């Protein structure tokens, strides 16, 4: 390849990255003659242990994130009354509306501050305790937080509510990264999307549970709000009791601990078969490719040009997930419905209805991701959210003149939540696992989780003030973010369905190989999907394309122009590029 490039007037190719398309190790099973056999990939059926551990960690960890997002919504009035009464007992006067709103906003957003701290600890914890060990130990944080919040009113301490919220945030920050990391590593590639989106369904179930329990007929009464906040100890206790019955991540055991026997036994438990040699071989191939690469830190990840597109993609989708405004919708659903003109007595039941739709949307995403792929779900979800956010703005502006617009506003809120739960709720965490190999994955989760929680805190804290200052137009900011993220995913992020981690990395490596060769040209990026299609056909094109955009493949034809649609100016050094305009 280097000789051909020099002959064509191009700089010689650099040595291949361990995960590049030119790497000597192939993860594709062969047919016995040395050629890849696509029909013998590592595809497995869903077993009882796989399903059980997925449900357990989703219920004991992911659901708590959704519950804690929405739990402060319905008892907001009671919590503010408690703060005001406590302040009055201590200082002889109540709080003014401004400081009271500030204190309640701190209660809401300190959950995200704790989450930010938890996400920064992920890399250290998963390296020291493993994936399963980290999840088990983090359950103890929930028990501590439940004690703080449950006894806060008895002890007359608003500080205990805020501390309890920050500890639940710490737990959520850890688990929001470790759960998809664990499931992504134990799942066969044909089930990775399905199992990877299961936590997002439980996040929706957590929100729905908080909405149901917050009804006046249940725990929505004034005297029950501390119990309402402390219910989280039940799922955490169940996870703490049962998670030790399941194995550690086999990928962690083999690649990071070099425990082949432990990894083999874990695979046999999860896959339900003694024949796990192909899965072990795939992990050994990745271990060999990373033999000279140590586990990277976040700083090294940001400086590593070999994974810059993966890093940028994780940053964009994780930040966009929160800057889309979904947490503002969840935190302040009652306020939004009240501003939309829904009668106060009907708001709790309207909110429960939206929660049920969240669950249905999450199920649709979970059961279609392996058929449709990751890109369609996340692009469609963000676009639907953008349209509905613009619709809320229009409804709020016109509802005075057109009273029926309040119902359209409610429909837009439902559309935002459904669009989010169908794709953006779970796909970013799944993508973080899929876009990186073992050495970079913990640092990627630290980066993505930190951005996720930082944006979560920002939105939770400033949204009430943004709403007061900008009114209905505040939702247009979120609309713009959603549409920009959808555009980025369409142009840059490849489809990862049914691919191994190294195959995905090679797709990006091939993309990096193309761009330097075309530095003097104007490259038509008709969405990364089109470019990816040409890269995956590596070697299939001969470079003969005559006259228009070439989509045939990269392979040996790169020196002669195949695989790309180039408009002009690679110069005469490219030789016979009849496919260039």
Q: Which ranges constitute the DSSP H helices of 290-437?
A: 298-303, 308-323, 326-331, 333-339, 347-372, 374-398, 405-422, 427-434
Q: Both 240 and 305 in a single domain?
A: no
200 within some domain: yes
**Which of 15-19, 104-108, 262-266, 289-293 is the least confident region?**
15-19
pLDDT confidence of 477, banded at 50, 70, 90? confident
Alpha-carbon distance of 98 to 77, in angstroms, equals: 15
Total count of domains within the chain: 2
Confidence band (pLDDT; 50, 70, 90) for 110?
confident
DSSP state string for 513-529: HHHHHTTTS-B--S-HH
- Indicate if the pLDDT at residue 243 is higher than 90: yes
Q: Does residue 531 form part of some domain?
A: no
Domain boundary among 464, 480, 513: 513
| 267: in domain | no
Share of the chain above pLDDT 70, in %: 76
> Tens digits of per-residue pLDDT, 171-207?
999 998 899 889 988 888 888 888 888 888 898 889 8
| 423 and 345 in a common domain | yes
Listed in sequence order, the residues at least 6 apart from 362 whose beta carbon sits closer than 8 Å to its beta carbon are 197, 200, 201, 203, 204, 205, 421, 422, 425, 426
Question: What is the CB neighbour count within 10 angstroms for residue 416?
Answer: 31
Of residues 371 and 60, more confidence is placed in: 60
Residue-number span of the structural domain to which 116 is assigned: 46-246
488 inside domain: yes
Query: Do 60 and 140 fall within a single domain?
Result: yes
Tokens of 158: 């608003």
pLDDT at 400 over 70: yes
Cβ neighbours of 295 (radius 10 Å): 17
Q: How far apart are CA 467 and CA 146, in angstroms?
A: 31
Average pLDDT, the chain: 76
Q: Are residues 209 and 338 in the same domain?
A: no
* Cα 481 from chain centre: 16
Q: Categorize the per-residue pLDDT at 513 as very low, low, confident or very high, splitting at 50, 70 and 90.
A: low
Angle at 107 between CA 106 and CA 108, to 5 degrees: 90
- Identify the CA nearest to 464 among candidates 151, 76, 192, 184: 76
Residue 24 has pLDDT above 60, yes or no: no
pLDDT for res 355 = 79
pLDDT at position 340: 65
Task: Give SS3 for 439.
Answer: coil
Query: Which pLDDT does position 509 carry in this prediction?
Result: 66
421 band by pLDDT with thresholds 50, 70 and 90: confident
Cα(11)–Cα(13) distance, integer angstroms: 6
Same domain, 376 and 236: no
Is 287 within the bounds of a domain?
A: no
Q: With contact defined as beta carbons under 8 Å apart, do 369 and 431 qualify?
A: no
Are residue 334 and residue 469 in the same domain, yes or no? yes
The residues near 295 (Cβ < 8 Å, ≥ 6 apart) are 127, 256, 438, 439, 442, 443
- Considering the domain architecture, whether residues 242 and 304 belong to the same structural domain is answered as no
Task: Answer yes or no: is pLDDT of 230 > 60.
Answer: yes
Same domain, 467 and 398: yes
Among 457, 485, 513, residue at a domain's last position = 513
More confident residue, 370 or 485: 485
pLDDT digits (tens, 9 = 90+) for 561-574: 333 333 333 333 33
The pLDDT value recorded for residue 469 is 79
| pLDDT beyond 70 at 515 | no
- pLDDT tens by residue, 308-355: 888 898 899 988 888 888 866 766 667 667 766 777 777 778 778 877
Residue 255 lies in a domain: no
Question: Among 262-276, 357-371, 430-444, where is mean pLDDT lowest?
Answer: 430-444
307 and 233 in a single domain? The answer is no
Give pLDDT, residue 291. 61
Q: Is residue 564 domain-resident?
A: no
pLDDT surpasses 70 at 549? no
Between CA 23 and CA 5 the distance in angstroms is 18
Residue 12: band (very low, low, confident or very high) from pLDDT cuts 50, 70, 90: very low
3-state secondary structure of 36: strand
543: alpha, beta or left, given left = phi > 0 and alpha = psi -120 to 50?
left
Report the pLDDT value the prediction gives residue 580, as an integer from 0 to 100: 32
Give the C-alpha distances (Å, rounded to integers) separating 471 from 150, 190, 397, 433.
35, 46, 9, 38
- Structural domain ending residue among the three candidates 513, 533, 548: 513
Residue with tokens 């725990």: 219
Higher pLDDT, 307 or 38: 307
Whether the pLDDT of residue 575 is over 60: the answer is no
Most confident of 149-153, 456-460, 491-495: 149-153
pLDDT for res 26:
38
> Do residues 229 and 313 share a domain?
no
Looking at per-residue confidence, does 78 or 559 come out higher?
78
Above 90 in pLDDT, residue 485? yes
Measuring CA to CA, which residue among 503, 514, 576 is closest to residue 542? Answer: 576
**Top-confidence residue, 39 or 424:** 424
> Largest Cα–Cα distance in the chain?
88
The CB-side HSE value for 106 (13 A sphere, CA atoms) comes to 14
User: In the structure encoding, which two tokens stand for residue 55, read together?
Assistant: 């449900």
Name the nearest CA neighbour of 237 among 142, 327, 359.
Answer: 142
Min mean pLDDT across 9-13, 161-165, 393-397, 399-403 is at 9-13
137: CATH: 1.20.1250.20
Please state, in angstroms and rounded to a whole number, the distance separating the CA atoms of residues 209 and 203: 10
Q: Within this chain, do residues 241 and 311 fall inside the same structural domain, yes or no?
A: no
Answer whether residue 17 shows pLDDT above 60: no
Question: What pLDDT is stored for residue 337 in this prediction?
Answer: 76
The predicted pLDDT at position 325 comes to: 80
Helix-, strand-, coil-residue percentages of the chain, each rounded to 5: 70, 0, 30
Report the first-to-last Cα separation within the chain, whole angstroms.
Answer: 24
Residue 441 near residue 181 (C-beta atoms within 8 A) = yes
Q: What length does the chain have?
A: 581
**Do 436 and 509 reside in the same domain of the chain?**
yes
- Positive/negative CA dihedral, 52, 57, 60, 65: negative
Measuring CA to CA, which residue among 356, 340, 471 is closest to residue 417?
356
155 φ/ψ angles, rounded to the nearest 5 degrees = -95, 0
356 domain residue, yes or no: yes
d(CA 335, CA 338): 5
């Amino acid at each position: 390849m280097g000789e051909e490039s020099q002959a064509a007037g191009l700089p010689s190719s650099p040595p291949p990255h361990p995960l590049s398309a030119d790497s000597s190790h192939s993860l594709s099973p062969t047919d016995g003659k040395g050629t890849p056999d696509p029909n013998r990939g590592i595809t497995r059926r869903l077993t009882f242990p796989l399903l059980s551990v997925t449900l357990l960690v989703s219920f004991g960890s992911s659901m708590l994130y959704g519950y804690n997002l929405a739990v402060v919504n319905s008892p907001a009035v009671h919590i503010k009354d408690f703060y005001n009464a406590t302040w009055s007992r201590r200082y002889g006067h109540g709080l003014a509306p401004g400081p009271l709103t500030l204190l309640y906003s701190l209660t809401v957003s300190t959950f995200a501050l704790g989450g930010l701290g938890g996400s920064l600890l992920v890399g250290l914890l998963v390296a020291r305790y493993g994936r399963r060990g980290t999840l088990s130990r983090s359950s103890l944080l929930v028990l501590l937080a439940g004690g703080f919040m449950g006894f806060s009113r008895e002890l007359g301490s608003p500080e205990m509510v805020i501390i309890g919220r920050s500890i639940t945030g710490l737990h959520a920050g850890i688990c929001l990264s470790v759960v998809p990391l664990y499931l992504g590593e134990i799942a066969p590639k044909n089930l990775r999307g399905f199992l990877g989106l299961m936590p997002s369904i439980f996040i929706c179930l957590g929100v729905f549970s908080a909405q149901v329990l917050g009804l006046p007929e249940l725990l929505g009464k004034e005297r029950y709000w501390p119990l309402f906040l402390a219910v989280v100890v039940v799922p955490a206790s169940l996870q703490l009791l049962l998670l030790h019955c399941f194995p550690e991540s086999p990928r962690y055991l083999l690649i990071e601990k070099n425990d082949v026997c432990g990894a083999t036994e874990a695979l046999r438990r999860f896959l339900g078969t003694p024949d796990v040699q192909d899965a072990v071989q795939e992990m050994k191939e990745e271990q060999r490719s990373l033999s000279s690469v140590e586990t990277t830190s976040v700083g090294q990840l940001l400086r590593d040009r070999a994974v810059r597109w993966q890093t940028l993609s994780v940053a964009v989708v994780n930040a966009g997930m929160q800057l889309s405004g979904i947490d503002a919708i969840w935190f302040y659903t009652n306020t939004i419905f009240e501003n939309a003109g829904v009668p106060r007595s009907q708001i709790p039941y309207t909110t429960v209805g939206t929660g049920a739709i969240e669950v249905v949307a999450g199920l649709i995403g979970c059961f279609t991701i392996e058929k449709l792929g990751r890109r369609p779900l996340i692009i469609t979800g963000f676009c639907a959210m953008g349209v509905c956010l613009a619709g809320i703005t229009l409804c709020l502006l016109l509802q005075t003149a057109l009273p029926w617009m309040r119902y359209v506003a409610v429909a837009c809120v439902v559309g935002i939540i459904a669009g989010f739960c169908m794709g953006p709720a779970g796909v970013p965490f799944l993508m973080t696992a899929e876009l990186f190999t073992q050495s970079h994955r913990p640092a990627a989760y630290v980066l993505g989780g930190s951005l996720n929680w930082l944006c979560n805190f920002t939105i939770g804290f400033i949204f009430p003030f943004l709403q007061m200052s900008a009114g209905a137009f505040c939702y247009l900011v979120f609309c713009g973010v959603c549409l920009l993220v959808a555009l980025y995913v369409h142009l840059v992020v490849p489809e990862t369905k049914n691919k191994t981690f190294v195959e995905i990395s090679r797709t990006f490596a091939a993309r990096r190989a193309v761009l330097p060769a075309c530095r003097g040209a104007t490259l038509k990026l008709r969405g990364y999907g089109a470019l990816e299609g040409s890269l995956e056909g590596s070697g299939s094109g001969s470079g003969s394309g005559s006259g228009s955009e070439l989509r045939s493949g990269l392979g040996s034809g790169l020196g002669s122009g195949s695989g790309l649609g180039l408009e002009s100016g690679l110069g005469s050094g490219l030789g016979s590029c009849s496919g260039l305009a």
